[in-house]
Amino acid sequence: MPLLNAIVEKSIEIDNKIFLLKVYSPALTANVKPGQFINVRVSETIYPLLRRPFSVCDVEGDYFYLMFNIYGEGTKILSRKEKGEQLDILGPLGNGFNIDGDFDTAVIVAGGLGAAPFPFFTRMIDKEKEVLSFIGGRSSHDVITYEMKNVSVATDDGSRGYHGNVIALLQNKIDELKSKKIKMFSCGPSAMLRALKTFAIENNFECEVSTECAMACGFGICQGCPIESTQHPDKYLLVCKDGPVFNVKDVVI
Amino acid sequence: MSGVDLSLQIGSLKLRNPIMLASGTVGYGNEIAEFADLNKIGAIVTKSLSLNPRKGNAPQRIIETPAGMLNAIGLANVGVEQFLKEKIPFLKQYDIPLICNIAASTIEEYVECTRILTTEDAIKAFEINVSCPNVKEGGLQFGNSCQMVSEITAKVKAETDKPVIIKLSPNVSSIADFAKAVKDEGGDAVSAINTLVGTSFNIFTKRSKLKNVTGGLSGPAIKPVALAKVLEIKQKVDIPIIGIGGIMNWKDVVEFMIVGASAVQIGTLNFIDPYASERIVAELEKYCVENGINKISDLTGSYIL
């Protein structure tokens, strides 16, 4: 996991204050897998001090993309990066999704910015495998379907697609899901991941989730990002090093 | 070769240069070794070890603050036994003095940890954490009492021939009194400072951002406080000081040494730039060459008031 000098190509606002940063870094794109992340130093100064973790949203040749909204000072600075600026990144970090398993259909379940890792995922998954994308949000403004395939949308307020949460939408399609050999892949708010865990276990669906937690280093030394393990309750797993992608059965969400 | 002598000695502990990696910021060395060449660093201080493994605090453990961060890890560690079995072999591959940091809930536990660890040759010194702000028992309740610090120093010293360094809390009214207590009981050095107690609240939910409510503040935000504490000790007590607090570059190292530090520890910076410690050693040497300093230890306490 080297420290890499990457070069910003452009920053694009795709929709509703959702930004894509396109960055040149052959060293990263040669090694990164869907679901892995990088830790970005957005400023050379001491404010903001810490790096910011982002999952790699997509890869095109020597370029990769990050997807983010403006949440605080760090993302504000990132959104203003201009072509040619150096970007200090650490990565690829963590474990990505296991996309090569014995399944015919990848069922993506994403909430809000949890959509971020899935354009790359969709690009990299075996062409023989089917991809179904279930995208949830509070309202149509929170729904991100960028570069996703076979999209079904659920919104809490009914402003787009199914009126209800994305797990209820999955429940509605249970017969279709059960007729296929599926594996679920998910990223999004904790409440959604919790509900998905119950849904996946009840229906005996294999399911991997990408988790998140505040962290300082991203490679295991700060111990800042613990997540409760179901198998070893006496010690925590670390989101950065043991995850961020886990089999949903292995972690308490 | 520049001819500059970067080495120094604290008790029987010989360091090739004054740059140490601070406890809790480099785990047990294996992750940081992927970045920095440990054979070029002065010393490594392990994550605090306790007699038995500790799970640590529930998340959220970390909050970023202006020019700093709050942490409340809660001394998560593998315990001394597993450390000796599983972690030491990795560190033995490197030519770097290993300093074990010990955190305990009782005086007996400090003594027991020292007794077990001192038999391992690879361990060259101990740093006793009497100042962790993030655990319910022990920690700061020791660090806030001069009498406790005296007793811990005396009892740990009685258990080992290796140098004993006491890591002091800045959360006291007179840090020099604590340094004096360490010296009087035969302690070899003090580390100053551990983190400052701080907190942060969400203004909409009115809840603390850290699960532990309070945490330890580190990073460049605390550097001026750390410098003042080092200076205070230097002026009042004749004991080697290891300066810690917000070091971001070689200039900060020089500043700590001028106010009295014999060596320094790099902490929070390791999270942001894991290569930094190795680079700082090289830059420090360059500073010495350019400023006609033949022996870096001459910098220690060279302040002019």
Give the whole-angstrom CA distance, residue B210 versus residue A124: 38
Is the reported ipTM for this assembly greater than 0.90? yes
CB atoms under 10 Å from CB of A195, counted, come to 19
Q: In the listed set A27, A62, A93, which residue is the last one of a domain according to the structure?
A: A93
> Does residue A76 sit in helix, strand or coil?
helix
Q: Does A184 touch chain B (CB under 8 A)?
A: no
CA B114 from centre of chain: 17
**Cβ neighbours of residue B111 closer than 8 Å, sequence gap 6 or more:** B155, B156, B159
> For the packed helices B223-236 and B250-258, what is the interaxial angle rounded to 10 degrees?
30
The predicted model gives A11-26 an average pLDDT of 92
Query: Are A135 and A185 within one domain?
Result: yes
Predicted confidence (pLDDT) per residue in B263-303, tens digit: 999 999 999 999 999 999 999 999 999 999 999 999 999 99
Q: Does A225 touch chain B (CB under 8 A)?
A: yes
Residue A21 domain-assigned (yes or no): yes
Q: In the listed set A210, A233, A248, which residue is the last one of a domain according to the structure?
A: A210
As given in the structure block, the two tokens for residue A244 are: 């961020």
Query: Are A82 and A155 within one domain?
Result: no
Query: Are A203 and A179 within one domain?
Result: yes
Query: Are A17 and A55 within one domain?
Result: yes
Residue A232 domain-assigned (yes or no): no
Candidates A87, A115, A72; CA nearest to A11 is A87
* DSSP strands (E only) in chain A: 3-15, 18-24, 37-41, 52-60, 63-69, 86-93, 105-111, 130-137, 151-155, 162-163, 182-187, 206-210, 226-228, 236-238, 245-247
Instruction: Name the domain count of chain A.
Output: 2
Q: In the listed set A59, A93, A127, which residue is the last one of a domain according to the structure?
A: A93
Query: Are A146 and A173 within one domain?
Result: yes
Residue A249 domain-assigned (yes or no): no
Q: Which domain, by its residues, includes A129?
A: 105-210
| Chain A residue at shortest CA distance from B63 | A214
Predicted confidence (pLDDT) per residue in B163-213, tens digit: 999 999 998 999 999 999 999 999 999 999 999 999 999 999 999 999 999
Separation in Å, CA A231 to CA A95, A115, A251, B226: 19, 28, 8, 42
Q: What confidence score (pLDDT) does residue A55 get?
A: 97
Contact B59 A234 (CB under 8 A): no
Read out DSSP for B170-228? Answer: SSSS-HHHHHHHHHHTT--EEEE--PEEEE-B-TTT--BSSTTSEEEEESGGGHHHHHH
Residues in B closer than 8 angstroms to A42, CB to CB, are: none
Contact A46 B219 (CB under 8 A): yes
Active site residue B146: no
Query: Are A161 and A130 within one domain?
Result: yes
Instruction: Compare CB distances from B76 to A213, A217, A236 and report the shortest one's residue.
Output: A236
Query: Can you tell me which residue has the tokens 């007793």?
Result: B151
Q: In a mutagenesis test of the A interface, which of B44, B61, B200, B210 is the best target, namely the one with the most A β-carbons within 10 Å?
A: B61
Query: Are A15 and A71 within one domain?
Result: yes
| Chain B residue at shortest CA distance from A50 | B272
Query: Are A133 and A48 within one domain?
Result: no
Residue A237 domain-assigned (yes or no): no
How far apart are the CA of A224 and the nearest CA of chain B, in angstroms?
A: 5
| Chain B residue at shortest CA distance from A235 | B55
CATH number where A7 lies: 2.40.30.10
As given in the structure block, the two tokens for residue B295 are: 């022996």
| pLDDT confidence band for A17 (50 / 70 / 90) | confident
Predicted confidence (pLDDT) per residue in B109-156, tens digit: 999 999 999 999 999 999 999 987 666 666 667 888 999 999 999 999
Residue A242 domain-assigned (yes or no): no
Q: In a mutagenesis test of the B interface, which of A41, A47, A211, A221 is the best target, namely the one with the most B β-carbons within 10 Å?
A: A221
- Proportion of chain A above pLDDT 70, given as a percent: 99
Q: What confidence score (pLDDT) does residue B137 get?
A: 64
Domains annotated on chain B, with CATH: 8-58+72-199+217-299 (3.20.20.70)
Q: How deeply is A119 buried, as exposed, middle or buried, from its count of CB atoms within 10 A (0-12, 13-18, 19+)?
A: buried
Query: Are A110 and A196 within one domain?
Result: yes
Contact A236 B55 (CB under 8 A): yes
Residue A185 domain-assigned (yes or no): yes
**Cβ neighbours of residue B236 closer than 8 Å, sequence gap 6 or more:** B176, B179, B180
Residue A129 domain-assigned (yes or no): yes
> Does residue A128 sit in helix, strand or coil?
coil
Query: Are A71 and A125 within one domain?
Result: no
Query: Can you tell me which residue has the tokens 């532990």?
Result: B212
CATH number where A116 lies: 3.40.50.80
Query: Are A86 and A13 within one domain?
Result: yes
Residues in A closer than 8 angstroms to B24, CB to CB, are: 223
